[in-house]
Each structure stands twice: as structure tokens, then as C-alpha cells.
Amino acid sequence: MSAKDAYPLLEADLLPLSIGAALLGTGGGGNPYVGMLRSRELLRKGATVDILPLEALPDDAWIGEVGGIGAPVVGVEKIEQGEECYRAMRAVEDVAKVKMSALICAEIGGANSMEPVITAAQAGLPVIDGDGMGRAFPEVQMTTFFIYGAKPAPAAIADDKGNTVVFRDVVDMYWLERFARDTSVAMGAAAGLAIAPMRMDFVRRTAVPNTMTQALQIGRTVLDARARRLDVVDRVIATTGATLFFTGKITDIRRELKGGFARGEAKIAGSGDWQGCEGRIAIQNENLVLWVDGRPVIMVPDLIINLDLETGEPITTEVLRYGQRVAVIGLPVHDLMKTPEAMAVVGPQAFGYPDLTFTPLAFGPVHG
Amino acid sequence: MIRIGIDVGGTNTDAVVMDGNTVIAGVKAATSKDVMTGVVNALRKVLDAAGMEASAVDVVMIGTTHFTNAVVQRRDLAPTAAVRLCLPATASLPPMVDWPEDLRDVIGNHSFLAHGGNEFDGRVISPIDEAELVAIADQIRERGVKSVAVTAVFSPVSTDFERQAGEILAKALPEAHITLSSDIGRIGLLERENAAIMNACLRDLSRDVVAAFRGALADVGFTGRFYLTQNDGTLMDAEFAERFPVLTFASGPTNSMRGAAFLSGVQDAIVVDIGGTTSDVGSLQKGFPRQATVAVEVGGVRTNFRMPDVFSIGLGGGSLVVDGPDALTVGPQSVGYRIVTEALVFGGKTLTTSDIIVADGAADLGDKSKVAGLSPDLIRKARDRIAFMLEDSVERARISADPLPVIVVGGGSIIVEGPIAGLDLIMPNHFAVANAVGAAIAQVSGEVDRVYSLAEIGRDEALTDAKARATEAAVAAGARRETIEIVDVEDVPLAYLPGNATRVRVKAVGELHVG
């Protein structure tokens, strides 16, 4: 499988895709389990979904971006009616008077990795191998598409009951986040959002490339390591270019609500190479910053991922708990997320850390 | 108060007689194929050992793996209809969508989606449609199905829809057993629904098993009340157990950990329960096992039960010791219950961990002369290997740097040489039957799991409300009010929701009210 070729997404790919997506969720993004089951149901009923490389379609093809919007905990209880994103996408087509040629993922991290696959299966469209984050982020505007000028309207949001709300004129991406967020809550905190169609030449320039394939490969690595009883954390590091930044045991986890988001902090007592060191992770749905002995060593937008030290299972911030043994690994975010434009939207300052200057992750071993 | 605790395991049925907080007698008997013969044997043996008549016993508590095994082995399961109140939401994933096909086939794959259910904040997704439910009842009747599981979206927040639908279905299907998901599980639709369906499909079996336990007890002359233990270390009376058999899942490890806490008098510790083939290792907090936070599968089905966070390693009293060319290995293969014929000390040909211990002079078991030829070097290497395996598992279970003691229980405990991982070692009296002790001392609990809007009421008020509800639930389950303690409080803010929606979980436990 090469990222340069189109390939069909098969039922057997869904589990590894969901595992890789959970890992790229960097602690947030919601659990892809329900989305994996929904995709599986559609594929079993005969739907097919092709993954297309970014090079495949002509410049003037229209690309749709869809994703779920709401609260992850609602997602495990009020499962989707099934066509929320599909109806939102069709509404955008109607208002924009275009036909989509393919769909793309807003965020590969977490549950939203599955939404374009589901909508594509329903609409008979392919999915572009890439996404707007290369990870998970908490808000609508935090995609490379919006950072580099995607139009915020027309966008549409649809619920389980048949309500579809179109945002015809929206002045900027922050307004879209506000309107979509409030509407999703009115809709029961589980809705499907589709944003304005994007031209393929724009997507080619702005998408984080090959992330569907990347998630699949990470998931396969995890499953293969488990089957062969290898150290999953080691294998993930060896195959993704991630760096191990800390190992230890969670000694304190504090959570609070600020502005509708779950914020918090986890403290980790070091073990192994970090025996005697203290790690600290700031959380806003996703992991934001890792400090080791008071020194910031990874920060947004780079990826901070907590893996269960024994099983290699990615641990979401909601289930982080006292006593868990974790390996904290870091993955450099794509260069598109490191520009001054991107920093303004997803840098440490945008998350409320005015004192931190983004220092990009380098490859290679780092020790405390 | 005189009580009997029984633990029906795969290999042994253990029983103890307790007078208040004193263990009078503890015995082990082989588990029989029909289970009940083994229970009667264990009961006779333990009453005999205690020198007591059954009529002197006030109450009997039973821990059993019967229902777990029925699901795992796909036997004695009743055809079951799953009715979900949800439409138009959740239609993308029908009930049992993530079940192993063979299990779904065994119970018939009867799934129905109907209108109803709540939003996260209590708003109604759609009103209930009585005609729709009556039509579903007609189909259930035509298919000859007599067990029904009813699940409504967000029923842990509001149980009204499930109750209402349950009444409509009960009226239309007077002979059916009806299980409501909100009586069993917490937030997480598929997992809670799975538990409700498994419960419903066990209802025929639970009637038979509870009747058989009653028969076995009557057989030895006991006619008083008896209880079954749940996976959280608390009790349910026989009538409740008959209605909620699924709550017995994983009660075995819980009982041994609770028994370990009781016998040692220690509330916070690592517990190692060493059997013949495996050791279960877990962590005890305030006298209860720490619970797992990830979805636990039973027979291939995801659930979100209150399961103890226990893991097993392949080390027990019957584990094979192999002195290979590269290294000496211990387990995971084991002679299991055949230890009494296959271990060297019992005249067999297989070198087991128990043989090593006897050869080292640390235990008196079987014929010591049969292991006299083992080299001191081999004995040392095997003991070191066992010590390493125990240390590694204890380190895994440790959840803080605090020097917690290690409590060792179970029939295979003789393989422990001394302190593990440098921690204090406790091997309490009656360690071999700790699981039956855990059943005997089980308490009664009440639990709530609700979403509160902290914009409407403050956090303290929400927690007070949740604690009061948990306390009332415990009283309703049979706890003595003055003994009730809140043992678990957890509040998790729900991301993205306004009004500071917070999910609060509280558990209250108290001692059983007898008389």
C-alpha cells in the first residue's frame, strides 16, 4: 500500500484505522469505537469507500469536509441516527450549488476519523487521504483549511431528528465555531457538521497529507505488536518516528470546567529513565503541554500521546486516572501547523499559555 | 449471627462458617458437574467441621461463576428480545451489533427500535408510542420469546421511558420477564444494553439456579434467607438475584479480595490470590477492589460493569517447572486439579511449583521422599523465578509509591517464600478459603450515576443529592441505615456542554440487616 495509490477501505481496515485514530487523538477527539461499528455496518451492506491520494482529482473538483460536533460522552449514549453528516453535506451542496467529488476528514484524531468514511459510504464518494489537523483539536476553526483561508460559509449542521440548519453568511471561522457549538447543544450535543465546499487545488495545498494511511499503519503496528507479544510502545515509536518523552505513574489528576471544556492537569511520577523526575500534562480535552521537572518539553500543536505502558492502548483524557502507568510519546505536527498563521489559531497562546513559545519537537531520543 | 459463605468456582466449591467476625470452619470440596451436589457436599462438610446444625445458621451467602460460564459457554440461554427506546436517534447501530455471531444466534437476534428516550439534559428525544410498543409485543409473542430487555437513551439520567415501556410490554406479555437497562448499567448505551440483554437471556437459568440453591440449602436443613454476591463485593437477596443474574459476573475475584481484606484486617493493600493454575492480582482500596475503567468483555460482549481491576498471571500451586537449556520456566502450563495425581509428591511424573516448595522444606504435602533427588541449585532457581513473577505482578498492581502490604490468599499460597517487592507480607489465617469468607462478609450497596447541571444547583448540592440517593438505594437493597458509608464519589465534567453538566457517581455500602 502506498500513499500514492488509491485503495479501497476494507472491513478489516476499520479496527486498525480506529486504533490509529484514537492514538492521533492525543487524549481527545472522542472514542472511534461507535464510528467504527457504523462504518462496518455500511461496508457489510455492500457500500464501498476508496481512499484517494491528494494528487488524484483535478484542481476544480469540489471537496466536502464533514465531522461530528458535540460532547464525546453524549456520543457513547445517544448514538447517531446515522445520516447527520450526510444530510449536512447535501444541504451545503444545495446552498452552494455544487456537487462534491470527494470528502475529507476535519480531524483524523478520534471519532471524527470515521465520519467522512460513513458519509462517503452513504453518498458513494471517495475519501481523500488527509485531514485538516493531523491530530485532534477541540474547535471547528482549528483546521489547516480555516487557518489558510477556507470560507466559513455556507456550512450546515444536522441532527438525528431531521433538523438541518444552514449557516448562509458567517463572517469568520470563530463565528462558525460559536454558532455550530450552540446549535449542536440545542440538537442534543450530538450533530453532524459540514463546511463549505473547497476546491481540490486548495485542499492539495492545505490538507495534512496521508493521515488516513498514517492512522491505518499505526493501528496495524499496534495490532501486529500485540499479536506477536512485542512491546507495543516500542513498536509504535519505531514505526512512527515518535519520541519517548516520559514514563511513569499518574499520581494526581485534577479536572475542572472552563468555558464548556474539560480542563485539567495530570501529574506523573517518573519511572525507568525518568526515575525521580516529575512530569506534568496540561489538558483541554486533548493533551496540551508536557513539562518535565518544570521545563516544557512538548506543547501544542505537536502531538502529546499517553499510552498505557503495558498494553500500548492510547489513554483518553477522560479516563486518565490515578495509578495508571503511562508512556508519554511526542510526534511532531505537520509543518502546515507550525507557521505564524497556524500559531495564531493552535499555538500555546491560543490555548491560554502566553508565556510559552512554541518549540517544535525534534526527532531523536530525549531524556529527562 | 452465624453465617455461611460459599464460593462456587470452576474447580473447587469452598465454604466457611462464621460467627460474627470469627471464622469457625473452612473447607474445600470439588465442584460437581451439576454444581448443586458440590454445594451440598461443601455445606455438609463445613457444618460438620464447625460441629453445627444447619438450623443454627442465620444466613447463607453464595458467590457463583454459574452465570458467567453460561454466557461464555453459550448454554442455557433463553431467546431474548431487545427493545430500544431511541428513535430517531441511534438507528445506525441496532442492538447486539457488536456481539459474537454465535451468541447472537443462540438468543435469536430479536431487535426492535421504538420511539422514546431522553437527551443528555433530560429533554425528550420523542414521546413514547404505545401502539408501536403493542405491535412490537405482538411480534415478540408470535416468535415465542419470553425474555425482554428494554433500553432507553440516557435512562441513567431519567428512568421514566424504560418504566413506562416496561409496563406496556408487561401488560401485553404477561408471561415475559422484563429487564430494564437502568436497573443494571451506567452511561454508555451499547454496553448497558448488552448487559440488559445478557441479563434477560439468563432469566430462565437464574430461576432454576436460585431454586437449586434453595433446594441444596433445604437438603442440609437450612430454610432461612440466602444471598448471592455481586461483582462489586456486595449482596443481593435470592429474589433480586433471580431478576438480575448478570450482576454476579466477576464476583469471584471480588470475593477473594474482600475476604483478604477481612481476614488480614487491612483495607489498603495489594492482593495476590494464588490458585492451582493462575494468580489473580489486584489492588484493594478502602477494603474494596479497585474497579476497571475500560470496557470489560464477558463472553466476547462489551459491558461497562463495575468489574474489579484484576489481572491474572500463569502462576499457581500446580504450575509446571521446566529447567530448559536457556532458562528455567514456571507456568503458564499447570496440572490444575490433577495435581493430586500428577505432581511428584503425589506419585506423579510432573515437576510442579508445589514439588519445589516441599523439596525446599517449606511445606508438608504428599510424600517428601519423592522430591529428595531435586538439586539445591534447581530448587533455588525455581524459587527465584517464582519470586520474580510475584514481584513483577505486584509492581504492576501497585498504584502508589506508598509501601502498601501484600496479602496472599488462595490454595496455592504455599509457593510464596517471603516478602514480595520489599513490601510487608500478610498471609492471614484461613487464607485458602478467603473467597468464601469474602462471600460471607459481603455488604449491601446502593449506587447512583447521574448527570447534574451545576448551573442550576451547586456542586456540593449535587453531591449531597447523589449521596442521599445512593444511601436510599442501599437501604432499599437491605442495608442497615446506621452502618451506611459512602465509599466512592466521582464527578467528571462533561466536555463541551454548557451549564457545567457534570456526571456524578456515588456508591454507598452498609451491613446487611438480618432479622
The answer, yes or no, to whether residue A259 has pLDDT greater than 70, is no
Q: Using CB atoms and an 8 Å cut-off, which of residues 2-61 of chain A contact chain B?
A: 28, 34, 37-38, 41
- At A317 the pLDDT is 83
**CATH number, position B97:** 3.40.50
Q: Is B304 within 8 Å of B188 (Cβ atoms)?
A: yes
Q: What is residue B496's DSSP assignment?
A: T
C-alpha cell at A48: 464501498
- At A261 the pLDDT is 65
B134 interface with A at CB cutoff 8 Å: no
- At A365 the pLDDT is 43
- At A364 the pLDDT is 44
Chain B contact probe: residue of A11, A74, A77 with most B CBs at under 10 A: A77
Interface touch B89/A160, C-beta < 8 Å: yes
pLDDT digits 0-9 by tens, B419-432: 898 899 999 999 99
Look-up: residue for cell 479536572?
A255
Chain A contact probe: residue of B497, B502, B504, B505 with most A CBs at under 10 A: B497
The answer, yes or no, to whether residue A37 has pLDDT greater than 50, is yes
- Domain stops at, among B183, B201, B219: B201
Q: Which residues of A touch B123 (CB under 8 A)?
A: 188
Q: Which residue of B has its CA nearest to A319?
A: B293
Interface touch B187/A77, C-beta < 8 Å: yes
Look-up: residue for cell 523526575?
A277
- At B120 the pLDDT is 85
- Domain stops at, among B152, B179, B201: B201
Q: Cα–Cα distance between A10 and A13 in angstroms, integer?
A: 5
- At A219 the pLDDT is 95
Q: Is A324 within 8 Å of A249 (Cβ atoms)?
A: yes
The answer, yes or no, to whether residue A257 has pLDDT greater than 70, is no
**pTM (2 decimals)?**
0.86
Distance from CA of B226 to the nearest CA of A (A): 36
SS3 label, residue B459: helix
Distance from CA of B505 to the nearest CA of A (A): 14
Domain that holds residue B111: 80-201
* Cis amide linkage into residue B332, ω under 30° from 0: yes
Domain annotation covers residue B433: no
- Domain stops at, among B159, B183, B201: B201
- At B32 the pLDDT is 76
The answer, yes or no, to whether residue A318 has pLDDT greater than 80, is no
Structurally, chain B folds into a number of domains equal to 2
Domain annotation covers residue B414: no
Q: Is B165 within 8 Å of B152 (Cβ atoms)?
A: yes
Q: Which residues of B touch A249 (CB under 8 A)?
A: 399-401
β B235-237/B225-229 pair status: antiparallel
- At A366 the pLDDT is 42
A177 interface with B at CB cutoff 8 Å: no
Q: How many pairs of residues across A and B have Cβ atoms under 8 Å apart?
A: 128
Domain annotation covers residue B435: no
B402 interface with A at CB cutoff 8 Å: no
User: Strands (DSSP E) along B251-315, which ranges?
Assistant: 269-274, 279-285, 288-289, 296-298, 301-303, 311-313
- At A368 the pLDDT is 36
What ipTM was assigned to the predicted interfaces of this complex?
0.90
Interface touch B190/A251, C-beta < 8 Å: no
Out of A78, A257, A319, closest to residue B154 by CB: A78
Most confident of A331-335, A353-357, B440-444: A331-335
Domain annotation covers residue B246: no
Backbone angles phi, psi at B452, to 5 degrees: -110, 145
* Cis amide linkage into residue A154, ω under 30° from 0: yes
Domain annotation covers residue B91: yes
Domain annotation covers residue B213: no
Domain annotation covers residue B126: yes
The parts of chain B modelled with pLDDT lower than 50 are none
CB within 8 Å of B270: residues ≥ 6 apart: B281, B282, B283, B284, B394, B397, B398, B404, B405, B406, B407, B423
Interface touch B90/A80, C-beta < 8 Å: yes
Domain annotation covers residue B481: yes
Look-up: residue for cell 519511572?
A271
pLDDT digits 0-9 by tens, A95-121: 999 999 999 999 999 999 999 999 999
Q: Cα–Cα distance between B404 and B272 in angstroms, integer?
A: 13
Q: CA B183 → CA A328, B77, B448, B512, distances in Å?
A: 39, 20, 10, 20
β A49-52/A127-131 pair status: parallel
The answer, yes or no, to whether residue A260 has pLDDT greater than 80, is no
